[in-house]
Amino acid sequence: MATSAQVRDEILAGKWDETLGALYGGGAAELRRQRARYAAALEQFELYFGPGRQVRLYSAPGRTELGGNHTDHQHGYGLAAAVTLDLIAVASPSDDGFIRVKSRGFNKLDVIDLSEPEPQQGESTHSASLIRGIAEGFRALGKETGGFDAYTASDVLRGSGLSSSAAFEMGMAVVLNGEYGCGLSGPEMAKICQYAENTYFGKPCGLLDQLTSAVGGVIFANFADPCAPEIEKIHAAGLLPEGVTLCVTDTQASHSELTGEFAAIRREMEAVAACLGQNVLGQVLETAFWQALPRLRTQCGDRAVLRAIHYYQENARALAQKNALQRGDFAEFLHLIRANGHSSFEYCQNVYCASDPRHQGLSIALALSQSILEAGGGAWRMQGGGFAGTIQAFVPAPLLEAYCAAIEGVFGPGSCYRLKLREQGAVQIGSEM
């Protein structure tokens, strides 16, 4: 291990360029940006935790959903890709039994006393609850852990649908895993992070976001057995054909305060399953659902029924998307992207909040995208939990500049991000990786 100052000097001298290039792409401008970003994080670590500390660096990517919108928590399929927007952490172990984390952009220091493993009053929905839950998840597996001090800096847009929460969770998990030599695999850490978000943070999320951040590349997952999901990694290299750019638009409205709206989707889908004698829709044959439609409308309400229809159709599309990618049929993949976007709008109804119809940023972004891309062979969809946040578009090269200009004309400069996919999941990084 080296001190924070030594690592910073190495990075600024270009000694880590090969590692940074593997994570973010090797363009000169991007390497300059990442050198400065890491150097700033190391300086901030020293500011909060003192100079002369030996440190390690960690990275956990955000993710973009490609298919399977709100299907994973019903034991269905999911398709997602890791992106080069990530959370980085500078970390050093401590021997006092406390975890202290300072995150860029937040005016607080999370301090977690590891002698208090249970959820703490008033801590739910805050980052400290995630850290505490992750530490307890390691202990529950019999892993010896301890305290650490860390400074984090995230490029993953908060509340945007790129899963800043999963990147933060996986960042904390990979720090514990690396600092204390726990030897857990990416999927094992992802399950711990889901447990922390469900039990300590209080959000009933599925597992796809954490898995994608943990494993990297493009992930197709079958959650029929959520305790042991079947995971298939599709390598990101060459996935997007030449001349197509994956863009994500931040509609400037965070979905981070919409936990209740997300929870209602899962609750309503599971109410339909319960009427058919099962816990989740993945355990209910689709034919049985359609046969019971009149009764389900009466007992569960029409929105719950429509969200169940979305589940069955979206689940089939996620599998079809994976098959299209593997056989190189990108035109069919884009056709399916457009179809699952319409399903989220019409059936899952998670593009805007019915309680706040004056604000429909996602709807506007989708309509604008359609007006520009429809004739040119592009595709567009909402991504993530919904109600606010981001949309996704696959933009052909001849339309790229016009598309970005139109989007930023409505949502502001810098709102349209041109994403790159990332092969690596959450990792401890160094001069050799």
Half-sphere exposure of 375 (CA within 13 A, CB side): 6
Could you read off the pLDDT of 131-141 as tens digits, one per residue? 999 999 999 99
Evaluate if residue 376 carries a pLDDT over 70.
yes
Q: What pLDDT was estimated at residue 389?
A: 82
CA distance 183 to 189: 10
Question: Are residue 263 and residue 197 in the same domain, yes or no?
Answer: no
What distance in Å separates the CA atoms of residue 120 and residue 128, rounded to the nearest whole number? 9
Each residue's pLDDT tens digit, 237-265: 777 888 999 999 988 876 556 778 888 99
Do 174 and 265 belong together in one domain?
no
Give the pLDDT band of residue 431 (cuts 50, 70, 90): very low
Across the beta sheet with 416-419, the strand order is 379-382, 390-396, 244-250, 416-419
Q: Assess if residue 339 is contained within a domain.
A: yes
How does pLDDT run across 5-32, given as a tens digit for each residue? 999 999 999 999 999 999 998 789 999 9
pLDDT value for 388: 84
In a domain, 237, yes or no: no
Measured CA to CA, the distance from residue 46 to residue 9 in angstroms comes to 14
- 144 and 11 inside one domain: yes
pLDDT-above-90 percentage for the chain: 78
In this prediction, residue 257 carries a pLDDT of 66
Q: What is the CATH number of the domain that holds 213?
A: 3.30.230.10
Give alpha helix (H) positions in 224-360: 259-275, 286-291, 293-300, 302-326, 330-343
183 in a structural domain: yes
Do 205 and 269 belong together in one domain? no
Instruction: Say whether both 221 and 281 belong to one domain.
Output: no
Q: Is position 238 within any domain? A: no
Task: Verify that 262 and 361 share a domain, yes or no.
Answer: yes
Same domain, 302 and 383: yes
* Number of domains the chain contains: 2
* Rounded Cα distance, 34 and 266, in Å: 38
pLDDT for 160 beyond 70: no
Tell me the C-alpha to C-alpha distance, in Å, between residue 185 and each of 58, 125, 178.
15, 26, 11
Pairing of strands 147-154, 98-103: parallel
Residues 201 and 124 in one domain: yes
Residue 215 and residue 72 in one domain:
yes
For the chain, percent of residues with pLDDT exceeding 70: 97
What gap in Å lies between CA 54 and CA 304, rounded to an integer?
53
Position 239 in a domain: no
Residue 159: its pLDDT value, please?
56
Cα-trace Rg, the chain: 22
CATH number at residue 307: 3.30.70.890
Of 91-105, 222-236, 396-410, where does mean pLDDT reach its minimum?
222-236
Whether the predicted pLDDT of 195 surpasses 80: yes
pTM, to two decimals: 0.88
User: How far apart, in Å, do the first and last CA atoms of the chain sit?
Assistant: 14
279 within some domain:
yes
**Please, what's the b/e burial string for 219-250 (b: 16 or more CB within 10 A of its CB; e: otherwise)?**
bbbbbeebeebebebbebeebbeeebbbbbbb
Pair (265, 201) in one structural domain: no
Q: 64 and 190 share a domain? A: yes
Identify the DSSP state of 282.
Answer: G
Are both 193 and 248 inside the same structural domain? no
Expressed as residue numbers, the domain containing 106 is 2-231+423-429
* Rounded mean pLDDT, 41-57: 97
